[in-house]
Structure 1
Amino acid sequence: MQIYGIDLASEKFDVSFIDNRGIARHIVVRNRKAQIERFLDKLPDGCRIVAEHTGVYGDLLLKLADIRSIPVSYVSGYEIRHSIGLCRGKSDPMDAARIREYGERHMDKLEDTHFPSDTVYELRELYATRRMFVMQRKQLLTMVRCDAHRPDRSATAQDMKQDMIQHLSDMIASIEEKMAGMIDDDPELSKTSEIAQSVPGIGPVTATELIIKTGNFKRVGTAKKCATLAGIAPFPNSTGKSDKGSHVSHMGDKQLKALLFMCANSAILHFEKMRIYKMKKHEVEHKHIFVVLNNVANRLLKILYALIKKGEMYDPKYLQADPRLKTQV
């Protein structure tokens, strides 16, 4: 399989590939629809594009490649950098060549990356906009609280801040209403959101973020992968006689992790099984509260993925069968 390594940027991207004579070639393609289409139409059959995941810079390339059924693999820059060993020097052509070499060496590990559906893609943009507005409103509210300690305050400045807070609140409510309407209009997303919100502790905001970041639970297909994405999956840390136990990684999605921890807190209050589990681990075994919350969040993900796989709503009266009673074949 011929690998085309691509270093993406906002205005153009560098492409590295091996031609029919076995010589490394380098070309530059403008990151515009017409130029990308001409580049893709010239690619040979059976090739694969490997690129570093750089956010929205690669969305147009991914969408046009999906239309032409050209396999694309987007890989994190961290993984590429730590797999090629010690390197000196840096430039766009060199980065493209290193991405190509990564694809050639790890061809068996490359996974297809697909452009999400139009609904999920629009939801992703709306959610990012909502998150930005929420942060801006939080900053303004903090300023207003700090202004209470001023000996003198400007009435004009205070009115402008309050107006902006109200405007941001209206915009956030409008975006949430739009997102809810889009999910309700899509039968598949509506069913997934309904199942997610049936689990005690998981609300509409977390359900929407999980749908967006997991590609409606298809791109991230297991609870373990979702926990790894959020940075709540424990991994062992031992070598030889040294065993430091299991620890979570600090490289996860902090926003998703915060939401899952809030869901865990809510589940402890409203989910009887989780409340008993928290009491056992925290009050009897004296585990740290963050360890308990991390375990509860993992349990919620396992329940959620199991329900989505079955296509069923959460049943509070459900009792798991004792595995010891199963007949052995």
Structure 2
Amino acid sequence: MNKYKETFGVDISKDVFDVHGSNKGHDQYKNDEIGFKKFLKELPKGSLVVMEATGYYHYRLAQFLHKNEVIVSVVNPLSVKRFIQMKLAKVKTDKSDAKAICEYALINEVPIYNALTDTQSECLQLFRLLDTYLKQRTATKNKIHGEAVLGIPSKFVYRSLIRNKKQLNKEVAAIESKILSLVKEDQQEQLTLLTSIPGIGQKTALFLIVVTDGFSKFETAAQLCSYVGITPTIRESGSSVRGRARISKVGNRKLRNLLFLCSFNACKHNKACKEVYERIVNKGKSKKLALIAVANKLLKQSFAIAKYGRPYDETYVSVLPR
């Protein structure tokens, strides 16, 4: 049974956000400070406000409501999408989506939102900008190679590309340095512990600390693995359906990608990960599935080390809850 006075589903777009209250019905507000304050003023005390994780759009409203002591929940958009499909809904509008989010929250237990600290918020913004610059740098490197292959590259074009690559290198270095300094202010010890794990690099360790709030958001390693989306899913039914095992992909894609890249190095230098990889491959499973299992193992090692507060020891057996 829903324990809140009223539940509100919120569908957010660039300019407005639609709201559906379990008692009040539909309303719409501007997606700005004025709209936030108007919505807050009309919210009954003891209400729950539920919205989908939609990147930049949901973040400002969630932070605003949380700071004003409103109970907020940010849910996975895929969960709501599956809920709407289950209902065989034929109409899809912002108004209907807000109503669907409200109905979803009324019959499902939803997670309570914890606001990001200023440091977390800045670090996540820096990581997003870092990704943008890294993609631009890769594109520039490819363009330089493409011009060289022509055999008679324009000197002006070539020099311009080289200057652009140098500038991107400076920006990448500056952002990485800023992230490192921010994390070191509060989590220097945890950063040192995580980088003691063979296979976990500094960038992955930094991102892990930031998105998990120093691992304080999770009580078990299983919860963390589920959040990242690094758990395998099996597709088997009867004798005819034998789908390949895949990762769930419901979770933090950026962190999942970083861990997958780390798994290559961990297979060589991390004893436990190497054993996991070899065991799965020897069973005839694909190497990709084995690497996913290694990424999962790395995540569990990170969780255990962060919770115990002790450096990596390949002979140590974790007894933390899974």
Paired amino acid for 1:296: V
Amino acid at match of 1:314: Y
Partner of 2:265: 266
- Tell me by how many angstroms 1:134 deviates: 0.3
| Residue range with higher mean Cα deviation, 303-312 or 216-225 | 216-225
Partner of residue 16, structure 2: 12
- The answer to whether the 8 A contact 1:261-1:293 is kept is yes
Distance 2:67 2:253 in 1: 33
Residue by residue over 1:32-81, the C-alpha shift from the partner in whole angstroms, topping out at 9 and shown as x without a partner, is 22331232133212110011221111222111211222111112222112
**Conserved 8 A contact 2:247-2:292:** no
1:196-275 to 2 correspondence within 5 Å? 196-240=194-238, 244=242, 246-275=245-274
Tell me which amino acid in the other structure corresponds to 1:83: F
**Number of the residue aligned with 2:188:** 190
Distance 1:88 1:221 in 2: 39
SS of 1:6's equivalent? strand
2: CA distance between counterparts of 1:259 and 1:98?
A: 34
Deviation at 1:115, TM superposition (A): 1.6
Equivalent pair of 1:16/1:27 in contact (CA under 8 Å): yes
Output the amino acid matched with 2:199. G
- What is the DSSP-based 3-state SS (H/G/I as helix, E as strand, rest coil) of the residue aligned with 2:8? strand
Report the RMSD for the aligned CA atoms in angstroms. Answer: 2.3
Letter in 1 for 2:230: I
1:42 corresponds to: 42
Q: Shift of residue 301 of structure 1?
A: 1.3
Q: What secondary structure does 2:29 align onto?
A: strand
- Runs of 5+ unmatched residues, structure 1: 322-329
3-state SS of 2:195 partner: helix
Q: Distance in 1 between matches of 2:249 and 2:111?
A: 24
Q: Is the 8 A contact 2:7 2:21 kept in 1?
A: yes
What is the distance in 1 between the residues matched to 2:239 and 2:283? 26
- Following superposition, the deviation at residue 251 of structure 1 comes to 4.5
Is contact 2:11–2:97 with CA below 8 Å preserved after alignment?
yes
| Corresponding residue of 2:308 | 310
Q: Which letter does structure 1 place at the counterpart of 2:124?
A: R
What is the match of residue 327 of structure 1?
none
Report the AA paired with residue 274 of structure 2.
R
Distance 1:138 1:293 in 2: 25
Pick the structure with greater CA Rg. 1
> Counterparts in 2 of 1:144-159, with a 5 A limit?
144-159=144-159
Cα distance in 2 for residues equivalent to 1:257 and 1:39: 36
What is the identity, as a one-letter code, of the residue corresponding to 2:173?
Answer: A
1:83 to partner: Cα distance:
1.1
Contact 1:52 1:74 in 2 (8 A): yes
Comparing 177-186 and 204-213, the one that deviates more: 204-213
Measured in 2, the distance between the counterparts of 1:37 and 1:308 equals: 39
Q: Which residues of structure 2 form unaligned runs of 5+? A: none
Describe how 1:46-85 pairs up with structure 2 within 5 A: 46-84=46-84, 85=87
Asked if 2 retains the 8 angstrom alpha-carbon contact of 1:220 and 1:226, the reply is yes
Quote the sequence identity (%). Answer: 28
- Using structure 2 for the length normalisation, give the TM-score: 0.88
Summarize the Cα distance change of 1:151–1:93 in structure 2 as closer, same or farther, 3 Å threshold: same
8 Å CA contact 2:53–2:76 kept in 1: the answer is yes
Say if 1:235 and 1:91 are closer, same or farther in 2 by CA, change over 3 A: closer
Please list the CA deviations of residues 231-279 of structure 1 after superposition, one character each: whole Å capped at 9, or x if unmatched: 4312343345567375422445443333212222212222234334444
Report if aligned partners of 1:62, 1:114 keep a CA contact under 8 Å in 2. Answer: no
1:163 maps to 2:163: yes
Residue identity matched to 1:104: L
- Indicate conservation of the 8 Å contact 1:59/1:115, yes or no: no
1:28 match: secondary structure: strand
Maintained 8 Å contact 1:73/1:110: yes
CA distance in 2, matches of 1:199, 1:102: 40
Moved over 4 A (4+): 240-243, 250-254
Q: How many residues align?
A: 312
Residues 251 and 61 of structure 1, relative CA distance in 2, 3 Å threshold: closer
Secondary structure, aligned partner of 1:72: strand
- Which range is displaced more, 6-15 or 211-220? 211-220
Alignment of 1:20-31 (within 5 A): 24-31=24-31
Q: Deviations over 1:91-124 (max 9, x none)?
A: 2222222222222222xx1110122111011000
